[in-house]
Chains A and B, each alone.
Chain A
Amino acid sequence: MKSMTLDLNSRTKDIVAGYIYILPSLILIMTFSVIPIFMVVYLSFTKYNVMQPAVFVEFDNYIRMFSDRFVRAGIANTLIYTAIVVPTQTILSMVIAEVIASRFRNRFGSFVKSVMFIPVISSAVLVGSLWLFLLATDNGAVNQILGLFGIHKINWIGTTKTALLSVCIASIWKNVGYFLVIFYAGIMDISSSIYQAARVDGASTTQQFFLITVPLLKPVTLLVIVLGTIWSFQVFDIVYVMTNGGPGKSTVTLVLTIYNAAFKEFSMGYASAVSVLLFVIVMLIYLLQRMFFREDA
């Protein structure tokens, strides 16, 4: 009898302790994630400028959104950005990981990996500033190098055609080191006996790459593509620093539209509607990923 009350006591204590342990984190998650996600949906149906109370306007913000040239430009630019950045950084990082894993599992290989990781730890603001200088029309390093091959000076940042490409180049430069580490870890997980067997059968390194590494890395590749795509839809810092959406609307992104609507025009309700759109897009990407993974299994 006595031991039972003791047991009950310690079980209640455990329950109370459990709640106390998670409480601080729960408060923060409720305040900064859970409540805001409901609030943003609510605000998206209102007209709200922070100063005056929100006024319910039904679907007005969503109707405005679908005819907004900035939102359209944001989506179009993001699709182009994704089409350039994601394949390039995925293939580049996969090939570099393979080269290091198959030929340079030594100090040189790890040195290259370490150096290529430096852009990853730098802020997008820093990367954007650096590439502004590297891509400068006069005396920028990129134009100087192109000049060696007889290519005329390009106004990278100031021309509608090349501004988005400039942002893409800076992003790829920043991201490759990150995905390189992920791919390298993935290749290391592939059992070396598979490669040994292939070598015994006379497979060349190129054959080993396409017939063993690429197929077995499929889950990792999918993760890299999904992450890269989601990052593409979240681009803000680098664009804000390099072009601020210009020239014209050539580098406007969804998040830039959210920021400008909310903090330049104080149309918080409208900006919330664009935020909901961004949320739906990101959720769709996760959903697609899950479908792919299920197909795999």
Chain B
Amino acid sequence: MNRSKRINIWDIILGILLLLMAVISFYPFAYMFLMSLTQSKDLLLTVDLSKMNFINYVRVFKNFDFLKYLKNSIIVSGTACLLNCIISSMAAYGFAKKKFPGKESIFFIYLATLMIPGQVTLIPVFTIMKKLNMLNTYPILFLPIINAFGVFLIRQFMDAVPDELLEAAKIDGCKEVSIFVSIVLPLIRTVLVSLTVFTFITSWNDFIWPLVVATDANMKTLTLALSVLKGNYLTNYGLVMAGSTLTFLPPFILYIFLQKQFVEGIALSGVKG
């Protein structure tokens, strides 16, 4: 009797502490949104509901071109997701189901590249892209996102595709392309969702790479534009918070709908920072 009572007290104390953790994790976002609706030049603790409006959002779109940056971010992240799924699942299928000379050594190189931090190759990749005249173009923003991680991830899920099924399809006269599109891709769709989520977050939040290669104001992504806005208008709190909220909203909305896939897609990325 006494014992169970003590456990209950601990449950309550730890429950409150957990709730506090959740509040600490979410409070800054709520604060960001509320501040974005004010014109105050000071940081406020209490918000006057009657004075709230969307003027900062109008300004961010009208005077600071956030619509263009939003478009850029959607193009870059969208293409990165689509291409990464196609290119990585093609390669994973090749590695898992085809026999060709040099396969194991090429895959070993793939694994080795996973250990290279992106910042290490920043300068040579920048130099190559400058030589190719590709700075300030969309492809340079999304192509480097496609790396060995997707291939590595999908290859582990290729066991879900039975060899017998592929053999049977071949005997039935199925073309190579249609085997891939109509048999392989549907069987690995869960891992493709995880990869899409991971790619989306990586490209949407990417900073140092756009900072270096998107020097033209027309090519900036939303995350990059936010850092510029913050740099120039730090004391205009409402404005910066409106920009922050806009940058945060697309991943947040997706997260609400695809929670499980988000956690899986990002936690699976253990090997990749």
State yes or no: do A and B come from one complex: yes
Which residues of chain A from 225 to 272 have any CB-CB distance to chain B below 8 Å in the complex?
A: 227, 230-231, 233-234, 236-237, 240-241, 255, 258-259, 262-263, 268, 271-272
Contact for A22 among B91, B147, B262, B267, CB less than 8 A: B91
How far does the alpha carbon of A234 sit from the alpha carbon of B242 in the complex, in Å? 29
A144 on interface, CB distance cutoff 8 Å:
yes
How far does the alpha carbon of A141 sit from the alpha carbon of B22 in the complex, in Å? 16
Which residues of chain B from 221 to 273 have any CB-CB distance to chain A below 8 Å in the complex?
A: 223-224, 226-227, 230, 234, 237, 240-241, 244, 247-248, 251-252, 255, 259, 262-263, 266-267, 270, 273
B138 on interface, CB distance cutoff 8 Å:
no
B42 on interface, CB distance cutoff 8 Å:
yes
Question: What chain B residues lie within 8 Å of A233 (beta carbons)?
Answer: 117
Do A129 and B120 touch across chains, with their CB atoms under 8 A apart?
no
Contact for B226 among A17, A121, A126, A131, CB less than 8 A: A126
Question: What chain B residues lie within 8 Å of A58 (beta carbons)?
Answer: none
Do B127 and A50 touch across chains, with their CB atoms under 8 A apart?
yes
How far does the alpha carbon of A132 sit from the alpha carbon of B236 in the complex, in Å? 13
Q: Count A/B pairs, Cβ under 8 Å.
A: 262
Q: Please indicate which of the listed interface residues A123, A132, A258, A268 has the most CB atoms of chain B within 10 Å of its own CB.
A: A123
Do A116 and B128 touch across chains, with their CB atoms under 8 A apart?
no
Do B101 and A15 touch across chains, with their CB atoms under 8 A apart?
yes
Question: What chain A residues lie within 8 Å of B26 (beta carbons)?
Answer: 115, 118
Do B94 and A17 touch across chains, with their CB atoms under 8 A apart?
yes
Number of interface residues, chain B, beta carbon within 8 A: 90
A2 on interface, CB distance cutoff 8 Å:
no
B15 on interface, CB distance cutoff 8 Å:
yes
Given contacts A104-B15, A133-B237, contact A223 B227 (CB under 8 A): no
9 A-B contacts (beta carbon < 8 Å) = A14-B99, A19-B94, A25-B87, A103-B11, A116-B22, A117-B255, A124-B205, A182-B267, A279-B120
Q: Add 12 more A-B contacts to A37-B120, A96-B18 (CB < 8 A).
A: A17-B176, A18-B94, A21-B91, A31-B143, A33-B148, A121-B255, A177-B25, A241-B227, A258-B123, A268-B127, A272-B124, A286-B115
Where the two chains meet, the residues of A that have a C-beta atom closer than 8 Å to any C-beta of B are 10-11, 13-15, 17-22, 24-26, 28-29, 31-37, 39-40, 43, 50, 96, 99-100, 103-104, 108-109, 111-112, 114-126, 129-134, 136, 138-141, 144, 173, 177-178, 181-182, 185, 205, 223, 227, 230-231, 233-234, 236-237, 240-241, 255, 258-259, 262-263, 268, 271-272, 275-276, 278-279, 282-283, 286
